[in-house]
Structure 1
Amino acid sequence: METGFDNDAYVRLQAERIRDRIGQFGGRLYLEFGGKLIDDYHASRVLPGFEPDAKLQMLTTLRDQLEVVIAINAQDIEKSKVRGDLGITYDEDALRLADFFRSQQVPVAGVVLTRYAGQPAADAFRRRLATLGIPCALHLTIEGYPHDIDRIVSDEGFGKNEYLPCSKPLVVVTAPGPGSGKLATCLSQLYHEHRRGVSAGYAKYETFPVWDLPLTHPVNVAYEAATADLGDSNIIDPFHLEAYGKTCTNYNRDVEVFPVVRALMERIAGESPYMSPTDMGVNMVGSAITDDGACREASCREIVRRYFQAACHVKRTGDGQDAQARLELLMKQAGVDADLLPARSAALLKAETTGAPAGALELPDGTVVTGRTSDLLGAASSTLLNACKAVTGVDPDTPVIAEDALEPICRLKTRFLHGHNPRLHSDETLIALSQSSATDEVAAAVLEGLASLKGCDAFFSVILSEADESVYRKLGINVCCEPRYEGLGYYHR
């Protein structure tokens, strides 16, 4: 994939924009940080050149001015809500985030438990925070929020919330996931700052949608694809158009809630500095795009990947048909279809000719290699092995794992571990390859080829096992599957 984004320029421009916004308020800026602050792989896929930790890189340049507040919804703690990408609960993720910031020498001012109503699990988490020495503030559920302005901006609203002391000019408010109450946390803190005579302001940072790209630009359409299950959409900011006569792209939820946010800020500070939700943002992503064509192509691929993820989710769960239908419309809007990924046609053709599950992987130079199911290796394993051979120039027929090394593993799986499938998964194949690399220079060279596969697209004729899909994702390979299972049974793992 051609690079289309200047990460260094982005880090510099974004930091400058935030410094300017801090200066606008002359005291303290509460910056609501939307999306993933770290590990933003969606952004790195649609903006080739964007580094997954780019936002963290930017924040570390502001380290001397920065502290972090982590907001978490007490109801999510009570329900043991889990992050789907990490498999950990929101309260555990709050601690993970705190540890991460501490490792980067970024101070954490504390944790805010939002929508607190005496939940036992939230009380237990608060006690846990106390034993760890992490400050915690309780923000209560406010009747009539967010529309009853008089109640919210009063002693009966924000006034009942506990204030979390902050001391730095920039306070980044982040959270384990959506619905955590970041906006309410910012506004509540703002209310208490003004009561204390501290000049403070609010701004919002969202990577997507990109406000200065057209509504139908594939980068923005890819964001809609990523949030198709939420039923939200990008729209033109009508407030910005009315105030300035300029067309900007924004998010429907931000547009819908802006009148309330503006009214709250007017009540808290006397006036609102913003005429539109776009005004509130500080996003400089659009200014760092260096190759629009490369970003368009990358985004179109991401839209198609999201479609296959949704289709497989429907197959697995029987749920999510609306999201899949939405993604079909987004593909048409972007002018692409399910055959955009070259690996798909290669994988389906290989499966048809061999009569068994098959896979294909598009290499960095555009070459597509395939893998088939054999007696010892599954399609995911053979595809990965063949791709590593191809990028290192090793003949595809050259054996790099001795058969007498594979057979004992297969026997272990079936005889002692009582598995029904003797074929090796990707992780087991890589372990066997690693063992061979200790004494075989060719195997060692093939193993090194794994690094070259990061960012490549792979496609499989059937839904992969969790084990295989996990290995591919850890390697940074984008995985798509045809929404069908290998067997006809009711139960699949």
Structure 2
Amino acid sequence: MRIGFDRDKYLTMQSAHIAQRRAQFGGTLYLEFGGKLVDDMHASRVLPGFTPDNKIVMLAELADDVEIIVAVNAKDFARNKVRADLGTSYEDEVLRHVDAFRGYGLKVGGVVITQWTEDNRQALDVKRKLDKLGLRTYRHYPIAGYPSDVARIVSPEGFGRNEYIETTRDLVVVTAPGPGSGKMATCLSQIYHDHLRGRSSGYAKFETFPIWNLPLDHPVNVAYEAATADLDDVNMIDPFHLAAHGEQAVNYNRDVEVFPVLSRLLEQILGASPYSSPTDMGVNMAGHCMSDDAACRAASEQEVIRRYYKALVTEKREMLEPVQSERIALLMGRLGISPEDRPVVRPALDLARSTGAPASAIELPDGRIVVGKTSPLLGCSSAMLLNALKALAGIDTETDLLAKASIEPIQTLKTQHLGSLNPRLHTDEVLIALAVSANGDDNAAAALAQLASLRGCDVHTSTILGSVDEGIFRSLGVQVTNEPVFATKSLYRKR
């Protein structure tokens, strides 16, 4: 993959710009971090060279000044919300975030549970667990009329009900496992309480996407719309920025819609709003650090196609109407691309058609396409994985990395003792067998050594993956898409 983003330049520029914003306010700056602060996989896919840990590395350089608050919506606990790209619950995500922050030497001030109600049993259980783990927890309550009823919001019945988060650093980063967690409201609530206490504080927003100084129809910004198709987010020209500064800037509908109310809230709390537009609130420098526009365009177009297939599979699994996939199809039309512009799609479908069974294809780092077909011993994903490792290690395609004699006992264990109806080996079983074989087989050892080379590779399968293969590819860092077709006609499917 061509590098299209200058990581070092980004770290330098971003740190400097945050320092400027801190100086603007003095006192405490509450910095709302949109997107993923930990493992920003979307950014790393559409901006090749932007590593998933970029933002947290940047904050680590300011570790002595930074304190982090994790916000999470109580309703997300009640509905057992899961982070889609990692498959982890929001409860686990909170703990994972805290561990990651501490691992970088960053101070975690606590966890705020927003939209708190006493009848939410799941949220109450999570709060008890967090308390027992020694994490400070705070409760912020729903406010009737939020965000339009400014008088109620900026009152003892609004922000005044929220528990004040005691912080000790001048730069307070408010982050969350996902969208809709109440980060902005948390920041504004803190400013309200600071004002009552006679403390100086301000607010700014760190939102990587959409990138404000890229064109509205740039594939990087279109990819953001595809990623948030379930939220009805739409990129648009910021009308407030155009009116105030005479220049076009890209923002998204939710920030534009809420900006007049946000300005009034800041006026009520601070006496005057420091911002003329929602774009003014931002501190994002990513658009200044793209080193190869063509590389970022190509990567973003591929991300839009991946999001399209993901939407199709979700709709198939959950028996939903094709709302998200149709939205993303329109975005693909705007970019002039189609699903088959993903290089691994056609080889997988052609093999499936010729064999009459599930098939898969992977694009290796050098551009070679390797396929895998279904056999009595191996599923197509397992076969493709072995074929890819052989290709990367320079092993002849006819060489068997796993002897039939080593596979059959595993099949017997699965079908006769563990209750599986499918005798074929999944990817996890293949990797374990390969690791065992590597002790006495040089070819197996050479193939196993190539696993890291698969990170970032693209895969397409002709049927929906099971949960095991899906998890293995996620752990390997492989970017998988599937046709929205189940591998069997069974009504019950283990996920």
Q: Structure 1 stretches of 5 or more lacking a match? A: none
Contact 1:32/1:182, CA 8 A, preserved across alignment? yes
Q: Does 1:66 align with 2:66?
A: yes
Residue 480 (structure 2) aligns with:
479
Q: Secondary structure at the match of 1:67?
A: strand
Label 1:337 to 1:111 Cα distance change in 2 as closer, same or farther (>3 A): same
Aligned residues: 493
1:95 CA displacement:
3.0
Label 1:301 to 1:55 Cα distance change in 2 as closer, same or farther (>3 A): same
Q: Secondary structure at the match of 2:333?
A: helix
Structure 2 counterparts to residues 82-121 of structure 1, below 5 A: 82-119=82-119, 121=121
Residue 163 (structure 1) aligns with:
164
Q: Which amino acid aligns with 1:423?
A: R
Structure 2 counterparts to residues 95-244 of structure 1, below 5 A: 95-119=95-119, 121=121, 122-244=123-245
1:460 CA displacement:
1.2
Label 1:329 to 1:142 Cα distance change in 2 as closer, same or farther (>3 A): same
1:418 CA displacement:
2.4
Q: Secondary structure at the match of 1:339?
A: helix
Q: Which amino acid aligns with 2:208?
A: T
Structure 2 counterparts to residues 328-477 of structure 1, below 5 A: 328-477=329-478
Give me the whole-angstrom Cα distance separating, in 2, the residues matched to 1:132 and 1:431: 35
Residue 25 (structure 2) aligns with:
25
Work out the percentage of aligned pairs sharing the same amino acid: 54
Give me the whole-angstrom Cα distance separating, in 1, the residues matched to 2:129 and 2:356: 56
Contact 2:38/2:100, CA 8 A, preserved across alignment? no
Q: Does 1:55 align with 2:55?
A: yes
Give me the whole-angstrom Cα distance separating, in 1, the residues matched to 2:141 and 2:349: 54
Structure 2 counterparts to residues 316-331 of structure 1, below 5 A: 316-331=317-332
Q: Which amino acid aligns with 1:359?
A: S
Residue 267 (structure 2) aligns with:
266
1:19 CA displacement:
0.9
1:39 CA displacement:
0.8
Contact 2:57/2:104, CA 8 A, preserved across alignment? no
Residue 39 (structure 1) aligns with:
39
Give me the whole-angstrom Cα distance separating, in 2, the residues matched to 1:423 and 1:307: 29
Label 1:341 to 1:408 Cα distance change in 2 as closer, same or farther (>3 A): same
Segment drifting more, 189-198 vs 299-308: 189-198
Contact 2:386/2:401, CA 8 A, preserved across alignment? no
Give me the whole-angstrom Cα distance separating, in 1, the residues matched to 2:387 and 2:311: 28
Give me the whole-angstrom Cα distance separating, in 2, the residues matched to 1:75 and 1:352: 45
1:308-342, Cα deviation, whole Å (9 max, x unpaired): 11111222221141101101101111110011111
Contact 2:371/2:387, CA 8 A, preserved across alignment? yes
1:296 CA displacement:
0.4
Give me the whole-angstrom Cα distance separating, in 1, the residues matched to 2:77 and 2:358: 41
Contact 1:74/1:119, CA 8 A, preserved across alignment? no
Q: Does 1:310 align with 2:341?
A: no
1:8 CA displacement:
1.4
Q: Which amino acid aligns with 1:111?
A: V
Contact 2:9/2:289, CA 8 A, preserved across alignment? yes
Give me the whole-angstrom Cα distance separating, in 1, the residues matched to 2:136 and 2:493: 45
Q: Which amino acid aligns with 2:6?
A: D
Give me the whole-angstrom Cα distance separating, in 2, the residues matched to 1:100 and 1:228: 28
Give me the whole-angstrom Cα distance separating, in 1, the residues matched to 2:462 and 2:159: 54
Give me the whole-angstrom Cα distance separating, in 1, the residues matched to 2:370 and 2:75: 48
Give me the whole-angstrom Cα distance separating, in 1, the residues matched to 2:230 and 2:240: 27
1:166 CA displacement:
1.3
Label 1:400 to 1:90 Cα distance change in 2 as closer, same or farther (>3 A): closer
Q: Secondary structure at the match of 1:240?
A: helix
Label 1:486 to 1:113 Cα distance change in 2 as closer, same or farther (>3 A): closer
Residue 3 (structure 2) aligns with:
3
Give me the whole-angstrom Cα distance separating, in 1, the residues matched to 2:124 and 2:440: 56
Q: Structure 2 stretches of 5 or more lacking a match? A: none
1:85 CA displacement:
4.1
Label 1:217 to 1:397 Cα distance change in 2 as closer, same or farther (>3 A): same
Residue 293 (structure 2) aligns with:
292
Contact 2:86/2:474, CA 8 A, preserved across alignment? no
Give me the whole-angstrom Cα distance separating, in 2, the residues matched to 1:204 and 1:22: 12
Contact 2:38/2:97, CA 8 A, preserved across alignment? no
1:170-193, Cα deviation, whole Å (9 max, x unpaired): 000112222221111100100111
Contact 1:313/1:320, CA 8 A, preserved across alignment? no
Label 1:159 to 1:331 Cα distance change in 2 as closer, same or farther (>3 A): same
Give me the whole-angstrom Cα distance separating, in 1, the residues matched to 2:463 and 2:242: 47
Label 1:373 to 1:126 Cα distance change in 2 as closer, same or farther (>3 A): closer
Contact 2:463/2:486, CA 8 A, preserved across alignment? yes
Contact 1:310/1:320, CA 8 A, preserved across alignment? no
1:235-290, Cα deviation, whole Å (9 max, x unpaired): 11000011111111101100000001111011111111100000000111111110
1:183-210, Cα deviation, whole Å (9 max, x unpaired): 1110010011122222110001111111
Segment drifting more, 133-142 vs 165-174: 133-142
Q: Secondary structure at the match of 1:229?
A: helix
1:393-442, Cα deviation, whole Å (9 max, x unpaired): 11111122111111111121112222221111111111111111111111
Contact 1:229/1:320, CA 8 A, preserved across alignment? no
Give me the whole-angstrom Cα distance separating, in 1, the residues matched to 2:80 and 2:363: 39
Q: Secondary structure at the match of 1:452?
A: helix
Q: Which amino acid aligns with 1:98?
A: V
Give me the whole-angstrom Cα distance separating, in 2, the residues matched to 1:85 and 1:365: 25
Give me the whole-angstrom Cα distance separating, in 1, the residues matched to 2:119 and 2:19: 39
Label 1:210 to 1:443 Cα distance change in 2 as closer, same or farther (>3 A): same
